[in-house]
Structure 1
Amino acid sequence: MKTRPSHQDIPRAQRLAEQAFACVRNLVHREAFSGVVLLLATATALIWANSPYADSYHALWHAPVSFGFGSFGFSQPLHFWINDGLMTLFFLVVGMEIRREIHDGALADLRQASLPIAAACGGVMMPALIYASLNHQGAGLNGWAIPAATDIAFAVGLLALLGKGIPSGVRIFLLTLAVIDDVIAVILIALFYSDGLNYSGFALAGAGALGVLGLQRIGVGLACAYVLPGALMWGGLLLTGAHPTLAGVILGLMTPVICLPTREQPRDAVGRIARELEDDNGTAVASSEAAQSLRELRLAQRELLPPVVRVQLALHPWVTFGLMPLFALANAGVSLGGTDLSSSTSHWVMLGVAIALLVGKPVGVISVSWLMVRLGLCRLPADVSWRGVALIGLLAGIGFTMSIFIANLAFSDSNLLAAAKLGVLLGSLVSAMLGLTWGVLYLRGLRTTQAGGRA
């Protein structure tokens, strides 16, 4: 029987390719690199949208993309499929991360879990109050909800840029706060910027949720089996008028955090199959005889990890290095020219949005968190300090895409809309720069403390 070639027998080209792939894998697992990719995509979008080729930028994202089967057809711009379709996968990963933390992490304690929820409420109310106080008269008041939202993709991406030195509790706090922020923003849109929810879609979304529960009940562990009920949930939420990406959060929270029960323990199955793949002399059996055993081995290996971990690991590189940069490229292209700030209303709309994001978000997050802890209603996670809460508050000031989305609903006047978008861009950019600067100082303080502890 032929033996496998040794490392020395492998062709030089193959060894070089393996080394290159190893470097790529190393970069993929560096969280700071994902933040760099996101910033590059953002810069590309801004340069493109303010260049002589700006028309091609807008034409690309408004190009219709259609799906049809028989007499049924559904057509939406490419921008919709990215923001409302593909971003569901991002929210799925976010939901699964929160689910894991609720099970045995920073959110397992009710007093800890309630703190980011309270902080999110403070981060919604304070910016809205600041904006309303600066625009209490005239048409500008209708934009009070614009600075209430947090752009979860950009906030988490910039936190990743700081690297793995950031405590996991800070990341989970920011994730939870941003998700609650977006849920509140969706509720505000439904109550104040639309004709209300279309309740017929809830039946379809409910059917999808029941389908997920049914598949889990009968022990289906194959991820692709959940695509159809997940699509039903997405379509149902779209029909209601709610943001359909919430389907990703719901699915993530429904993902099992423990391995599905099997007749044979996965570890025992792996050992048994490994023995079956060797003959009496300890050499590998023929590939034709091993095919069935190898299939069983792959299934046993799959069941060694809980579904929530398995799916999260599979989606992480695609979401981090594919979806999030694409999202940034499609949404960060805000035109900086052509905004008329000569009128008092547009001037204060721009300032109101920028100041509310830059000041209102961190003040709201920090003050409400401090008050809840001071009253004994909540407590800080073990690895989160008040400096960490300040970092979360600054990053929460990145409103960007959700704020721009609300601005489109709030203002029909093109000049007020342009002023609001400029305010969102300025407030978000300054919040991001302050957040990164504070994050570097925060990390330096953590390293100093750790070094002092070891000494």
Structure 2
Amino acid sequence: MRLFSMYRWVRRHYQFQLRGRRFLEAPWSGGLVLLISVAVAMLLANLPLTADGYQRLLNIDIALVVRGSGGMIDWMFPRGLTLQTFVNDGLMVVFFFLIGLEIKREIVVGQLSSVKKAILPVLAALGGMVVPALIYFSFNAGTVAAPGWGIPTATDIAFAIGILSIFSDRVPISLKIFLTALAVADDLGAILVIALFYGEEVNLLLLAIAILILIGIYFLNKVGETRIMFYLVPAFVVWALFYYSGIHSTLSGVVIAMFIPMKPRYSKEYFARKMTGLSDALLKAECRADDFPNEEHRHYLRMMSSLATDSVGMSYRLEHLLAPYVTFLIMPIFAFANAGVSIDSLEYFRIFHVTPQAGAVGMGVFFGLLVGKPLGIFLASWLAVKTKLAEMPEGAGWRMLFAVACLGGIGFTMSIFVDTLAFADAEIVSRGKIAILMGSFASAVLGTVLIFLFSKKKTRI
């Protein structure tokens, strides 16, 4: 009886692990975790019992402090860093580093690796940034909300691809590739917008030191250095220099990613020859029936593992390693730290209302995402195809392309990030976040409905 109960426990444990693995591998799971983080943040920020504690948590000071007796040593790094700024300026560096790795991969070997492949998603991304910015300006030109024009120009790839994956049997694979490449190009555009328009006054000396270190990293790459420590330590120093130089520190992640080597340490021929030798040595090693793996076996297995690792480029290894942590840890923490808007009155939901304090930030963001994004993506794609600059994605029609373009209006992560950079007034930031959430939700619903209406489900034989 005890044997059967143990079997049932092991079986349930295995099924739980299997379900967990399937959930983590599902393309929509990251978006779901983000939604849960947003909901939790909104609840904690507005429930009377938790609102004060939530704000105190975000404003906790974080720093490494060294003090000596008699006041001889008094050193703190970094200064003025709260938990929220640690998330936005520290953890989000890893997010931008991963984006940088993805952009580099797409440019070198992916959908942006040639002019023919890149022209349509790049032009579509450009249109999807210009039109939302113009719509935002039409509502806010000359007001205190004018600096927020960059908010509706971004696309959240996790949500967009997650929703598209639900309709895998209704949307041509070519449009999924198009949306992915568009989102990568859009991320690159958002990074340039942040770098050029949302930085502070630049400390040229610190920036010059950072550039010298980056030049050193570049030469490390060129001489074939593949050990990660030689890139990790300078990366931290560059982040600190960016943090104090006035250029937003998260951009250091993108810059460093561009210098991470993609070429593996060992060639395919060397790997095959060396692995064959290690396999033969492993098989010849002495072994009793109950003695595998013994010390000699473990030695060969470690060498085989190291050989396999070094036969994959560092850029690919880091992208594979960081992706789940960014999706299920860093982005939910960012949402938790930034989506908790304290709603003191229903005025915050009146996003179509113009006020002297906040301008028309709500209307600009909402219509920029819901109308500007799909209109810009669609018009730029239409012009590119009609002028024969680019080719229409295989098997796709204009109606379905517009439906997929609507998903580009899901701004969320990057839009909230730009919102926190664009304004100093906490009320305008909060109104911008509400408009981002409402505009992103409306874009997701519109895109979902249009995909359902414009498609026919494929029948499986």
Residue 81 (structure 2) pairs with residue 74 (structure 1): no
TM-score (norm 1): 0.81
SS in 1 for 2:28: helix
| Superposed CA offset, 1:395-441 (max 9, x none) | 33334455455555655666555544433332233223334444566
Distance 1:96 1:405, change over 3 A: closer
| Superposed CA offset, 1:215-266 (max 9, x none) | 3344443334421121133223323322222222233333333322469712
SS in 1 for 2:78: strand
SS in 2 for 1:201: helix
1:300 positional shift: 0.7
1:20 positional shift: 4.0
Distance 1:230 1:347, change over 3 A: closer
Using the TM superposition, name which of 411-420 and 20-29 deviates more. 411-420
Distance 1:37 1:85, change over 3 A: same
Q: Verify the 8 A CA contact 1:334 1:421 in the aligned structure 2.
A: yes
Give me the whole-angstrom Cα distance separating, in 2, the residues matched to 1:156 and 1:383. Answer: 24
Give the alignment partner of residue 337 of structure 1, picking from 335, 344, 359: 344
Q: Verify the 8 A CA contact 1:170 1:389 in the aligned structure 2.
A: no
1:46 positional shift: 1.8
Residue 215 (structure 2) pairs with residue 184 (structure 1): no
SS in 1 for 2:198: helix
Q: Hey, what does 1:372 align to over in structure 2? A: 384
Give the alignment partner of residue 436 of structure 2, picking from 408, 424, 428: 424
| Superposed CA offset, 1:278-336 (max 9, x none) | 33677677623344333322211112323222222211221221112112211211233
Identity of aligned residues (%): 29
| Superposed CA offset, 1:91-116 (max 9, x none) | 22222222222222211121432443
Residue 360 (structure 2) pairs with residue 348 (structure 1): yes
Distance 1:211 1:383, change over 3 A: farther
Distance 1:354 1:157, change over 3 A: closer
Alignment: residue pair count: 433
Give me the whole-angstrom Cα distance separating, in 1, the residues matched to 2:186 and 2:218. Answer: 27
Any gaps of 5 or more consecutive residues in structure 1? 1-7
Letter of the 2:55 counterpart: H
SS in 1 for 2:226: coil
Distance 1:18 1:271, change over 3 A: farther
Give the alignment partner of residue 54 of structure 2, picking from 54, 57, 73: 57
Give me the whole-angstrom Cα distance separating, in 1, the residues matched to 2:192 and 2:101. Answer: 16
Give me the whole-angstrom Cα distance separating, in 2, the residues matched to 1:329 and 1:277. Answer: 50
Residue 255 (structure 2) pairs with residue 250 (structure 1): yes
Give me the whole-angstrom Cα distance separating, in 1, the residues matched to 2:434 and 2:278. Answer: 62
SS in 2 for 1:64: coil
Q: Verify the 8 A CA contact 1:61 1:79 in the aligned structure 2.
A: yes
Letter of the 2:299 counterpart: Q
Q: Hey, what does 1:3 align to over in structure 2? A: none
SS in 1 for 2:283: coil
What do you get for the CA RMSD once the two structures are aligned? 3.4
Q: Hey, what does 2:305 align to over in structure 1? A: 298
Q: Hey, what does 1:4 align to over in structure 2? A: none
Give me the whole-angstrom Cα distance separating, in 1, the residues matched to 2:262 and 2:400. Answer: 28
Q: Verify the 8 A CA contact 1:174 1:392 in the aligned structure 2.
A: no
Residue 46 (structure 2) pairs with residue 44 (structure 1): no
Distance 1:324 1:102, change over 3 A: same
Q: Verify the 8 A CA contact 2:34 2:331 in the aligned structure 1.
A: yes
Residue 157 (structure 2) pairs with residue 145 (structure 1): no
Give me the whole-angstrom Cα distance separating, in 2, the residues matched to 1:303 and 1:51. Answer: 51
1:206 positional shift: 1.9
Residue 92 (structure 2) pairs with residue 87 (structure 1): yes
Give me the whole-angstrom Cα distance separating, in 2, the residues matched to 1:225 and 1:48. Answer: 42
1:14 positional shift: 6.5
1:172 positional shift: 2.4
SS in 1 for 2:135: helix
Q: Hey, what does 1:5 align to over in structure 2? A: none
Give me the whole-angstrom Cα distance separating, in 1, the residues matched to 2:220 and 2:18. Answer: 37
| Superposed CA offset, 1:176-223 (max 9, x none) | 213312322432224xxx4x4333333233233234334334444333
Q: Verify the 8 A CA contact 1:117 1:176 in the aligned structure 2.
A: yes
